[in-house]
Amino acid sequence: DTAVSQTPKYLVTQMGNDKSIKCEQNLGHDTMYWYKQDSKKFLKIMFSYNNKELIINETVPNRFSPKSPDKAHLNLHINSLELGDSAVYFCASSPRGSYNSPLHFGNGTRLTVT
């Protein structure tokens, strides 16, 4: 029954590795997002997809590549992981084009790069 689910919940890996985080929503929303929460708890948007089309790409290193196979899924692949990538990554979804709709967040993936 989870509305926005992301896996894994924890990810510990070494520098230089490649990893992926998966996200799925069952709310029927058209728009999905990836946010990064840093060690100071600041939340910053990384990407947004609207019905599989990239609509927001916020100056994220191109080591980060989102992929949306369909509007219910938005995965995040990270190449050549760096120490500074350690953070909590949140997936979220909302109805399309609605400034009056909240984003529904997944429970987050805590990525630790050693």
Partner 1 sequence: AQKITQTQPGMFVQEKEAVTLDCTYDTSDPSYGLFWYKQPSSGEMIFLIYQGSYDQQNATEGRYSLNFQKARKSANLVISASQLGDSAMYFCAMREGANSKLTFGKGITLSVRP
Please count the residues of this chain forming the interface with partner 1, following the rule CB under 8 A. Answer: 30
**String marking each residue 18-37 x if it binds partner 1 according to CB under 8 A:** -------------x-x----
Q: Which amino acid is at 73?
A: H
Q: Which two tokens stand for residue 114?
A: 């050693």
User: Judged by CB under 8 A, which stretch of 13-21, 64-72, 75-83, 104-112 contacts partner 1?
Assistant: 104-112
Picking from 73, 69, 94, the residue whose alpha carbon sits closest to that of residue 7 is: 73
d(CA 39, CA 35): 13
Q: Which amino acid is at 104?
A: H
CB of 41 to partner 1, least distance (A): 5
Q: Which is nearer to partner 1, 50 or 75 (CB)?
A: 50
- Backbone phi and psi for residue 49, each to the nearest 5 degrees, phi listed first: -120, 140
Site membership for partner 1, residue 45 (CB under 8 A): yes
d(CA 85, CA 88): 9
Enumerate binding residues for partner 1 (CB under 8 A): 31, 33, 40-45, 48, 50, 55-56, 58, 88, 90, 92, 94, 96-105, 107-108, 110
